[in-house]
Each structure stands twice: as structure tokens, then as C-alpha cells.
């Protein structure tokens, strides 16, 4: 989630840089308006778009899928919460919700301030707008079809202000500002949403100024250069007088219209979006800390030193969180290892499980067994490869030992499950991933766990340690170790 948010913000920053460097100074105000509105929305979608054409493709390769550990069906176990309590919420969620609630309160406060100004003002209804005269004020702004004008302003300038604000009304500029205001509530932590809203607000004034007839521009200059006016600090209104914008508006009023040929600048979006799509589509295949090649004499018959070097490097890479790729080749045949995208493991010396997947390609002899490269002697044999799977007590006469194993495993977990009291008290719940091996004697060994809490992890380990001794798996008549993986979901429910 955090990574996705960072990607969104990175895309937004790039879009803003393109705007500020290449588009901002042009007089294609409507084009720029739609650029800002669309690129913000597009930045939210791009991290989730995957285009297969951009993804990495291994020509002629064969994915070695049989190295997957048998993943048993997920089991959900639950316990009732004491009355008056509820499941725990992560601190990240609490911070996010708190920030959004505060932003929503500020949003409501802005609406209330506009309501009070309108309520206390003198309302004049017209066919296409409502004019509100604000007592003892020199402000001027619009919000949807309401035009607010300070009583202190000379009546001669009212028609020029109304003409200007009517552009905001007819083009529905208030919707643009509300659009970004809503994103400010949801994305209050993102500084770029405030920059986007400020940029769109500037454009609204340029668009409205552009619609002023040349004959009336003298009055427009006079209004903008007049004494300092009051402004309302409300981010979703179109202010006529805003000191930070006055200089920019005068510059744009005097600026010659950009040549139409400069509209080709918007084609910059094509390569920019293309690069972003490529990144989003290929990020799972992009090497991170390593993209290495190891040259050997013969892939099929690696020396002990070569095997040791391979396993040592794979172990280091598998423990990293970056994208990586490690290639072993003899010039004719290739083994390509990369980070695992699931419960895929290969086995190294001393039954060590290395989280990785492999693609193999090239010239291999007909009797070559790729498992020998991966598994070595006395290493665990993946469930999908073992000729005779381990047999759970009670499944000896079953026609389908695999499904029988899974059924008895679920019954065992539910029968022996006890939700840890500490986890209930702290409202802790979540999934614990358990890996274990049934060794050549039929006993459960090498239990590994990963979960949101040590209380849940310890309970999952306790349940697995209570598994009965089984008939071991066999390969070529010999008892072998077989690894398994099972997710256990702990859930807290309110008592009725």
C-alpha cells in the first residue's frame, strides 16, 4: 500500500514538472485545465495498470513449477471478543482516518463560513446568477452560481467583476476546485494535491481574464492594480482579488496568444505515460540489487565449488526484498533464478529452503534431471514431485491421499485451536503462514512461521507440533522429506 502511494506521488510529481516546464506559460488555458484534471486521476490508476507487452518474456524458456511447496487450503479460526470490545485497528489506519476526519472538518468549516457570508449579505437574484452584497467588505469571489461582492467596492466596477465571475459560473470552475478539495480530504498527507489545486485555481483566473473583451481590459488592469483587497481563505472559491495572482494575471492579460504549433507539446504525455506504464508493468521483472551471471563448465554437472557458490548467492538474494535475477550458464544451457512470487522454494544443502523460482532453457541431455541441480542429496522433495506423498493417519486406504491429507489437517487445526488470550486482549488478528517438513521418519520438523504477532505465531506452531506421526513420503522406494505450507487466519468476532 505504501509503495503504491509513493508511486502515485512520483507520477504526479512528473506530471507537474512537465506542466511547469513546458505548458504553464502557454495560453492554451483550457487544454491546461484538462491536463491537470486528467493527470491527477490518471496517476491514481497507472500503478494498477499492467500491459503484457511491456512485461518481461522468456523466449523458449520452461518455467520449473514443480519446485513449489504444497500449499494446503487456508484455514480460518475465530474467537469471540469480550462484550464492548472490537478488533484492533493498525496505527497507520488510525492516522489516515484521523487526518481525513480533520480535513473533512476544515471542509465543513469553509462551507459554513460561506453560508454565514451569504446569510448576512444582501441577496439580489438574477436570471443566471445570485449576487450577494457583503457589508463592510471589499472582497469579490464566486462559488457555483453565487457572486459575492463587497459593499465597499465602487458600483461602477460591479459589472466588470460580474462579467469575470460569470465565466467561472458558466464553465463550472467550482466543480474543479471541489474535485481537488475531495482529494485533499482523502489524500491530506500528499502535498502535491495542494499544488494541483493551486495550479487549477490560477488557470481559472487566466481563463476568465481571457474572456474579457479587449475594450474592457483597461478596467481589468485598474481593478487588479487597485489597493489591497480582502480575500477569503477558502480553497474552493474563485477569488477575483488574490494578491499572489495579480502579477501573473496582468502578465497573462498582456501576453500574446501562443502559436497553435505549440500544442504539439502535449504530445510529451505520450512518452511520459508510456514510461510510467512500462514501469508499472515491468516492476515485478526488473532486477534490483542483482542481475548477475555465473559462468560454469557444465550446468548438468557442476562442481562442488560451483554448487556452493550458487547456493550461497541464492541464499543472500532470497533474503533481500529487492527484485533480482541470477543466471547460471555454460554457454549452451541456462538456469535463471529470480525472486519468488508465491510459495515457491528450492532446496539447498542441509535441507535449507531458498525462496526463489527458476526458468531453465537450452541444450540438456534426455536423462538430465533438473531436480538434481536443485535438490541435491537428502534434500526435501516437493509435494508435486514426490512419487508417494506422506499419509496422514486415517488416510491409508484413501483413493486420494492428497485431499484426505488436507481434510485431516483442517480437522486437526480446528480441534486443537485455542485463541491466545493476549491476542484477544490486544485485539490482534491476521494470517500466520506456516511452513513445515515431514521428514523420512514421518515426524514434523523444521517449522517456520510468519505472522502479525508472536502470540498468533506461537499458537500456530503449537498446533503443528501436535500433528501425529505419519507415513513418510517416498521417492524411488526411499523415504524422503516433503515440505508443506499452510496459512492459518485468526479472526476476532463480536459476541452477540
pLDDT reading at 181 higher than 90: yes
pLDDT of residue 103: 95
Grouping H, G, I as helix, E, B as strand and the rest as coil, residue 160 is helix
How much is the pLDDT for 66?
Answer: 35
Which whole number is the average pLDDT over 304-318? 81
- Average pLDDT (205-212) is 81
| Residue 342 banded pLDDT, cuts 50, 70, 90 | low
Q: How much is the pLDDT for 64?
A: 37
Max Cα distance, the chain (Å): 103
Q: Note the pLDDT of residue 65.
A: 36
Q: Show the cell assigned to 474.
A: 517416498
Choose the most confident range, by mean pLDDT, from 132-141, 228-237, 337-346: 132-141
Q: 66-80, 103-117, 212-226, 443-457 — which is least confidently predicted?
A: 212-226
Which contacts (CB < 8 Å, 24+ apart) does range 170-179 have? 170/128, 171/207, 173/204, 173/207, 173/208, 173/238, 174/142, 174/143, 174/144, 174/236, 174/237, 174/238, 176/33, 176/37, 176/200, 176/204, 177/201, 177/204, 177/235, 177/236, 177/237, 177/238, 178/236, 179/37
Residue 285, pLDDT above cutoff 60 = no
Number of Cβ within 10 Å of residue 377's Cβ equals 6
Using alpha carbons, select from 220, 189, 215 the residue that is nearest to residue 205.
220
Q: Alpha helices of 130-212 — where are they, by DSSP H?
A: 158-170, 173-186, 191-210
- For the domain 387-494, what is the CATH code? 3.30.2420.10
Rounded CA-CA distance 28/304 in Å is 69
Query: Inter-axis angle of helices 243-254 and 191-210, to 10 degrees?
Result: 50
Residue boundaries of the structural domains of the chain: 2-62+77-275, 290-375, 387-494
| Residue 286 confidence (pLDDT) | 41
Report the pLDDT value the prediction gives residue 289, as an integer from 0 to 100.
Answer: 46
DSSP annotation of 69: P
In angstroms, the CA 43 to CA 10 distance is: 9
| Residues, the chain | 496
Of residues 143, 120, 111, the one with CA closest to residue 130: 143
Residue 456 to residue 446: CA distance in whole angstroms: 18
Question: What are the residues facing 488 on neighbouring strands?
Answer: 75, 432
The chain-wide mean pLDDT, for the chain, equals: 79
| pLDDT (0 to 100) of residue 300 | 78
pLDDT in tens, 402-412: 788 888 988 99
Dig out the grid coordinates for 432 from the structure: 500466520
Q: Retrieve residue 347's grid coordinates.
A: 532446496
Q: In what order do the strands lie in the sheet with 333-338?
A: 62-63, 357-362, 333-338, 324-329, 290-295
pLDDT-based confidence at residue 213 (cuts at 50, 70, 90): low
Q: What is the mean pLDDT of residues 250-261?
A: 76
Question: Which pLDDT value is given to residue 216?
Answer: 53
Tell me: the pLDDT tens digits for 382-401? 666 677 888 999 998 888 88
Taking the C-alpha atoms of residue 242 and residue 233, their distance in angstroms, rounded to an integer, is: 10
Strand partners, 198: none
61: pLDDT strictly greater than 50:
no
Confidence of residue 450 (pLDDT cuts 50, 70, 90): confident
What does the radius of gyration of the chain's CA atoms come to, in whole angstroms? 33
Highest mean pLDDT among 117-121, 331-335, 483-487: 117-121
CA distances from 466 to 69, 388, 438, 469, 480 (A): 21, 23, 13, 9, 21
Mean pLDDT, range 186-192, rounded to an integer: 94
Angstrom distance (rounded) from CA 108 to CA 100: 12
**Residue 262 confidence class, pLDDT cut points 50, 70, 90:** confident
pLDDT attached to residue 288: 44
Contacts of 160 (CB under 8 A, 6+ apart): 212, 216, 219, 220, 223
| pLDDT score of 124 | 92
Q: Report the pLDDT averaged over residues 13-27.
A: 92
- Answer yes or no: is pLDDT of 243 > 60: no
pLDDT at 479 over 60: yes
Amino acid at each position: 500500500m505504501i509503495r503504491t502511494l509513493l508511486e502515485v506521488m512520483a507520477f504526479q510529481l512528473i506530471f507537474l514538472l512537465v506542466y511547469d516546464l513546458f505548458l504553464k506559460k502557454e495560453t492554451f488555458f483550457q487544454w491546461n485545465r484538462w491536463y491537470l484534471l486528467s493527470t491527477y486521476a490518471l496517476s491514481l490508476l497507472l500503478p494498477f495498470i499492467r500491459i503484457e507487452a511491456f512485461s518481461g518474456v522468456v523466449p523458449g524458456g520452461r518455467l520449473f513449477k514443480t519446485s513449489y511447496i504444497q500449499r494446503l487450503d487456508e484455514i480460518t479460526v475465530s474467537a469471540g471478543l469480550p462484550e464492548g470490545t472490537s478488533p484492533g485497528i493498525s496505527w497507520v489506519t488510525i492516522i489516515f482516518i484521523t487526518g481525513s476526519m480533520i480535513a473533512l472538518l476544515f471542509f465543513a468549516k469553509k462551507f459554513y463560513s460561506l453560508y454565514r457570508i451569504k446569510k448576512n449579505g444582501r441577496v439580489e437574484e438574477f436570471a443566471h446568477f445570485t449576487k450577494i452584497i457583503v457589508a463592510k467588505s471589499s472582497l469579490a469571489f464566486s462559488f457555483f452560481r453565487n457572486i459575492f461582492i463587497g459593499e465597499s467596492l465602487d458600483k461602477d466596477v460591479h459589472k466588470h467583476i460580474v462579467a469575470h465571475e460569470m465565466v467561472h459560473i458558466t464553465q463550472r470552475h467550482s466543480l474543479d476546485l471541489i474535485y481537488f478539495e475531495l482529494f485533499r480530504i482523502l489524500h491530506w498527507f500528499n502535498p502535491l494535491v495542494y499544488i494541483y489545486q493551486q495550479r487549477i485555481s490560477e488557470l481559472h483566473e487566466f481563463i476568465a481574464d481571457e474572456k474579457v473583451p479587449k475594450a474592457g481590459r483597461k478596467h481589468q488592469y485598474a481593478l487588479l492594480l487597485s489597493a489591497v483587497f480582502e480575500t477569503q481563505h477558502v480553497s474552493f472559491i474563485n477569488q477575483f482579488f488574490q494578491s499572489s495572482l495579480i502579477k501573473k494575471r496582468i502578465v497573462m492579460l498582456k501576453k500574446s496568444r501562443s502559436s497553435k504549433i505549440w500544442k504539439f507539446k502535449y504530445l510529451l504525455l505520450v512518452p511520459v505515460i508510456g514510461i510510467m506504464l512500462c514501469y508499472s508493468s515491468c516492476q515485478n521483472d526488473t532486477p534490483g540489487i542483482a542481475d548477475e551471471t555465473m559462468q560454469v563448465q557444465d550446468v548438468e554437472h557442476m562442481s562442488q565449488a560451483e554448487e556452493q557458490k550458487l547456493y550461497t548467492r541464492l541464499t543472500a538474494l532470497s533474503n533481500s526484498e529487492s527484485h533480482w535475477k541470477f543466471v547460471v550458464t555454460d554457454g549452451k544451457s541456462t538456469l535463471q533464478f529470480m525472486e519468488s512470487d508465491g510459495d515457491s522454494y528450492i532446496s539447498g544443502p542441509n535441507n535449507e529452503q531458498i525462496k526463489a523460482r527458476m526458468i531453465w532453457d537450452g541444450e540438456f541431455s534426455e536423462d538430465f534431471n533438473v531436480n538434481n541441480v536443485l535438490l541435491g542429496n537428502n534434500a526435501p522433495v516437493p509435494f508435486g514431485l514426490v512419487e508417494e506423498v506422506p499419509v496422514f493417519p486415517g488416510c491409508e486406504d484413501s483413493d486420494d491421499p492428497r485431499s484426505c491429507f488436507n481434510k485431516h489437517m483442517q480437522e486437526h487445526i480446528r480441534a486443537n485451536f485455542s485463541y491466545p488470550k493476549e491476542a484477544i486482549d490486544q485485539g490482534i488478528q491476521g494470517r500466520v503462514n506456516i511452513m513445515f517438513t515431514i521428514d523420512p521418519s514421518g515426524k514434523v520438523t523444521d517449522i517456520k512461521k510468519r505472522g502479525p504477532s508472536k502470540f498468533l505465531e506461537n499458537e500456530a506452531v503449537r498446533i503443528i507440533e501436535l500433528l501425529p506421526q505419519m507415513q513418510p513420503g517416498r521417492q524411488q522406494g526411499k523415504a524422503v522429506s516433503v515440505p508443506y505450507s499452510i496459512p492459518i487466519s485468526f479472526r476476532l468476532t463480536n459476541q452477540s
